[in-house]
Amino acid sequence: MPTNGAPTKITQGSRTKGGIGESTLRPDGTLKVTGEFAYSSDMWHEDMLWGQILRSTVAHAEIVSIDTSEALATPGVYAVMTYDDLPTEVKNYGLEIQDTPVLAHGKVRHHGEPVAIVAADHPETARRAAAKIKVDYRELPVITDEASATAPDAILVHENRDDHHIGHVPHPNIVHRQPIVRGDVGAARERADVIVEGEYTFGMQDQAFLGPESGLAVPDEDGGVHLYIATQWLHSDLRQIAPVLGLPESKVRMTLAGVGGAFGGREDLSMQIHACLLALRTGKPVKIVYNRFESFFGHVHRHPAKLHYEHGATKDGKLTHVKCRIVLDGGAYASASPAVVGNAASLGIGPYVVDDVEIEALALYTNNPPCGAMRGFGAVQACFAYEAQMDKVAGQLGLDPVEFRRLNAMEQGTIMPTGQPVDSPAPVAELLRRVKAMPMPPEREWESSEGVDVRQLPGGLSNTTHGEGVVRGVGYAVGIKNVGFSEGFDDYSTARVRMEVVGGEPVATVHTAMAEVGQGGVTVHAQIARTELGVTQVTIHPADTQVGSAGSTSASRQTYVTGGAVKNACELVREKVLDLGRRKFGPYHPAWATAELLLEGGKVVTDGGEVLAGLVDVLEDEAVEVEEEWRHRPTEAFDLRTGQGNGHVQYSFAAHRAVVEVDTELGLVKVIELACAQDVGKALNPLSVIGQIQGGTTQGLGVAVMEEIVVDPKTAKVKNPSFTDYLIPTILDTPTIPVDVLELADDHAPYGLRGVGEAPTLSSTPAVLAAIRKATGLELNRTPVRPEHLTGT
Amino acid sequence: MRVSFTVNGRPQEADDVWEGESLLYVLRERLGLPGSKNACEQGECGSCTVRLDGVPVCSCLVAAGQVEGREVVTVEGLADYAKQRSCGDSCGTSLDEAKGWQAEGTDSQTGEGTELSPIQQAFIDAGAVQCGFCTPGLLVAADEMLERNPNPTDADIREALSGNLCRCTGYEKIMDAVRLAAARQGEAV
């Protein structure tokens, strides 16, 4: 199907208020501002107990013994469980590879691994009892990087791998490796006038969602359990939880509790199984809430990476070739590492036209904290490096960095390194043009006739400068992200839509299992139902496992895939409603048979605008309901040797311009403005779209100048598991973020939309780095940049 | 121990409070007021911000015993608190108002019909709420700032809210919301 980027035309529902394209307000907004919205940590049940997890204090060790007797004897304690208490033969879980023990068995592989669980009548009692469990560890050498992982005598992090990647990896401490080879790099290199090499380091970033991992497990009378939980994918959790409990999936009922942000960190299980185990063991409801310290150990992080790049270009500014090698540290368990590798490899050269490429991406098993999904998912690390390279090559050629990017920008029809053609608009050059054309923030805004406002200077209220040593820099970057699950994954969603008359009005109810994590999916679902069914009243049913899977709230996919499923189910409901109308009223008016019929404003109308019947009269006391799965077009796996294959569904593009001011004497950075231009295909809810872009941009800013989980390379222990020592941007650190939204429709997607959430997280970081380089003249090959990197102290 | 204090204008008592419990824990787990949030429980994120005798504090850092005999306002009481403030001492309930409340009612599913303070309404209207976990603390902090400083500059807003972390929005819509609330407040005077 050709796609020409023309704006999406809406006929059905265009006259119904609150439909797609409007900035309707969140249906959960009132509850969220009054404090009544029930997050997973707010769950409460009469007679409930509190669960606590005991975690390993060392990164890599054999467990010699565990003594729980003192903990069990503590008044108020109802249960203590270790590996030996697990009820079935299924004792591991995992998203793709089931390598993660529910509770450690004989060995711990990373700092903070769950070893035992306790239930007590007060959270402090549970904590103190857990502290009384005596675990005797015999420490093992730690594997912390590629050299130690692949050394000839390296200890294997997982001794007996039987997963489907073991056959093609060069070493058992490599989770997955994906090469991509296209063209002839050797020959292309001969044509290059300049060749630029660079070695880059990307630090470990945390999702730092504010709502801690938490939930409530309530035992059911039939021997099952009901779990109220914050997650990104209810059905994926269910598939992993039920076998460990020894229950059929029908006896593990799951309801989405309020989710306080996710950003990838809730793709893996955290306390789900532990809470269910304790509830089933004690016969009482069990609540578990991590504190922030535990949260840093309780979920996977963004993979830290080492990236080596070689770019070649001719003197007229055309890229000849790119070679790169991306080594991601997956930590102790696989989590989403294989898919992150696929992304890093396939998106590894960025949104540019390069015919000759050699790419290799791999993820290691180490004893560092497990890493997995985080917003941007493998594309973030690559973008940081290839955009630094683009600036370096432009510098060597004496070209303007934006002009150099524009000269090499991909467009619709470009062939990716995987051989996949880009078959929808790819306005890379246009986004760069737009972001560059935005007005510049004024110079020295901190200065006025009244003096200097230090709050607007690097160092802020620390009053470290009144402008002395402060230098401004401007940097640009652009990125490419895939939308949806790739590499042949059956990435479907399910929606149940019902239309009936309630209180004399036609009302649509939308029921999906989509995890609303803050992104505004619930807002958009209601808008889609209004547009497709021509009603104003839409009820969003709470998400649970009583309806089919919606897939994950990740990969920028929910508006596309669950939005697509809702649209599709609404269309089927509409057809049924029209059939009902034809049966009832067809004999009385020929237009029922001859005209194109629409639902608008609660009525059946012809495309000419003639009203045929009210929906209330069509439906009377009948309810029309449809539940249906919906799929986007299929993708293929990447060839394991060449990386060739139509692996992705859709691409998403954003460009940033960063303006920074650096106190060059102290190495303090103030980001003055971070402008973004992004193509969203069709903004279903412009207010939410801009909110996503600004939020993603800020997470990119965080990893540019402050966010990093620091792991001691000698012990593999986490050194900063708190918001005191792991810093995320505050409102003082975050600048104005002007956004320019482009809407070039992708005809393959519902309404032409393009997934929005992740792309802005990619280019934000390299834009800030480029601006700091411009201000300081330093090379800066690692992120985040800390003051000592700028002052050399 | 027993702790007696006033929450959102109502006298409250909590029994069997362990000495190490925070005000946040007592509000959330003993008094059924989970609106104040538990994002870090170490005084870094501001999600648990409440007013203690009028002063914004991180309730996670206040020992429950410290609030004995004192007045606490949480996000749950923010609308009433703002209403009291705006009408001063003459804040009786007129017959018309009372009728109005009866007629409106609230939707327990969506909260529709709930009376909101200006800052709460502005957060909804400006798109300042995504996951919403930071929202209660930000609302209490922003409301307190607007009480002190009805015409804040952007730098003033950023300074006043610098103790409240948000991970979703990038703060732009939060800035918009506070500006909007300030502007509406100005119009109303």
**Cβ contact A39–B112 (<8 Å):** no
pLDDT for the residue B104: 46
Strands (E), A96-173: 100-101, 107-108, 114-120, 134-139
pLDDT at B64 over 90: yes
Q: What average pLDDT does range A22-50 have in this prediction?
A: 97
Q: What is the DSSP string of A315-360?
A: TTS-EEEEEEEEEEE-TTS-TTHHHHHHHHHHTTT-SB--SEEEEE
Tens-digit pLDDT profile for residues A273-284: 999 999 999 999
Q: Does the N-terminal peptide bond of residue A219 adopt cis geometry, omega within 30 degrees of 0?
A: no
Q: Report the relative pairing of strands A650-663 and A114-120 from DSSP bridges.
A: unpaired
Phi, psi of A150 (to 5 degrees): -110, 10
Domain B78-88+114-188: which CATH number of 1.10.150.120, 3.40.190.10, 3.40.30.10, 1.10.20.60:
1.10.150.120
Is A116:A133 a contact under the CB 8 Å cutoff?
Answer: yes
Identity of the residue in B47, B78, B114 whose CB atom sits nearest the CB atom of A30:
B114
Tens-digit pLDDT profile for residues B6-16: 999 999 999 99
Residues facing B5 on adjacent strands: B12
**Cβ contact A211–B131 (<8 Å):** yes
Which residue in B has a C-alpha nearest to residue A208's C-alpha?
B167
Tens-digit pLDDT profile for residues A105-138: 999 999 999 999 999 999 999 999 999 999 999 9
Domain range annotation of chain A: 29-37+492-631, 40-140+212-259+266-298, 424-483+648-791
Are A29-37+492-631 and A424-483+648-791 equal in CATH topology? yes
**CATH class of segment(s) A29-37+492-631:** alpha beta
**Cβ contact B39–A30 (<8 Å):** no
Mean pLDDT of chain B: 91
Which pTM value belongs to this model? 0.97
Domain range annotation of chain B: 3-77, 78-88+114-188
Which residue in B has a C-alpha nearest to residue A30's C-alpha?
B111
Cα dihedral sign for B42, B48, B49, B54?
Answer: negative
**Cβ contact A34–B111 (<8 Å):** yes
**Cβ contact B18–A453 (<8 Å):** no
The yes/no answer on whether domain A40-140+212-259+266-298 falls in CATH 3.90.1170.50 is yes
CATH code of domain B3-77? 3.10.20.30
Distance from CA of A264 to the nearest CA of B (A): 13
CB < 8 Å to A446, chain B: none
Tens-digit pLDDT profile for residues A82-108: 999 999 999 999 999 999 999 999 999
Identity of the residue in A210, A259, A695 whose CB atom sits nearest the CB atom of B47:
A210
d(CA A683, CA A743): 7
Q: Report the relative pairing of strands A61-67 and A134-139 from DSSP bridges.
A: antiparallel
CB < 8 Å to B162, chain A: 730-732
CB < 8 Å to B170, chain A: 691, 694-698, 734, 737
CA distances from A468 to A662, A663, A786 (A): 10, 8, 20
Radius of gyration of chain A (CA): 27
Is A527:A19 a contact under the CB 8 Å cutoff?
Answer: yes
Q: How many CA atoms lie within 13 A of A570 on its CB side?
A: 29
Is A555:A755 a contact under the CB 8 Å cutoff?
Answer: yes
Identity of the residue in A29, A34, A41 whose CB atom sits nearest the CB atom of B76:
A34
Are B3-77 and B78-88+114-188 equal in CATH topology? no
Task: Please indicate whether residue B106 or residue A145 has the higher confidence score (pLDDT).
Answer: A145
Picking from B22, B172, B175, B178 by the largest number of A CB atoms within 10 A of its own CB, the best residue to mutate is B172
CB < 8 Å to B82, chain A: none
Tens-digit pLDDT profile for residues A426-451: 999 999 999 999 999 999 999 999 99
Look-up of token digits 């590492």: A337
Count other C-beta atoms under 10 Å from residue A490's C-beta: 10
Which residue in B has a C-alpha nearest to residue A516's C-alpha?
B131
pLDDT for the residue B108: 58
CB < 8 Å to B164, chain A: 730-731
pLDDT band (50, 70, 90) for residue B95: low
Domain A424-483+648-791: which CATH number of 3.30.365.10, 3.30.465.10, 3.40.1440.10, 3.10.105.10:
3.30.365.10
Q: What average pLDDT does range B49-63 have in this prediction?
A: 98
pLDDT for the residue B87: 81
